[in-house]
Amino acid sequence: KNEVEQSPQNLTAQEGEFITINCSYSVGISALHWLQQHPGGGIVSLFMLSSGKKKHGRLIATINIQEKHSSLHITASHPRDSAVYICAVPNFGNEKLTFGTGTRLTIIP
Partner 1 sequence: DSGVTQTPKHLITATGQRVTLRCSPRSGDLSVYWYQQSLDQGLQFLIQYYNGEERAKGNILERFSAQQFPDLHSELNLSSLELGDSALYFCASSSWGRAGGNEKLFFGSGTQLSVL
- Residue (6 or 77) nearer to partner 1, CB: 6
Q: 10, 103 in Cβ contact below 8 A?
A: yes
Per DSSP, 79 falls in state: G
- We find the least distance from the C-beta atom of residue 44 to partner 1, in angstroms, to be 7
- We find the least distance from the C-beta atom of residue 85 to partner 1, in angstroms, to be 12
Q: 29, 2 in Cβ contact below 8 A?
A: yes
- Residue (11 or 48) nearer to partner 1, CB: 48
Q: Which residues contact 61 (CB under 8 A, 6 or more apart)?
A: 34, 46, 47, 49, 53, 54, 55, 70, 71, 72, 73
- We find the least distance from the C-beta atom of residue 42 to partner 1, in angstroms, to be 5
- Residue (35 or 105) nearer to partner 1, CB: 35
Q: 26, 34 in Cβ contact below 8 A?
A: no
Which residues here bind partner 1, judged by CB under 8 A?
31, 33, 35, 41-45, 48, 86, 88, 92-99, 101-102
- Residue (48 or 65) nearer to partner 1, CB: 48
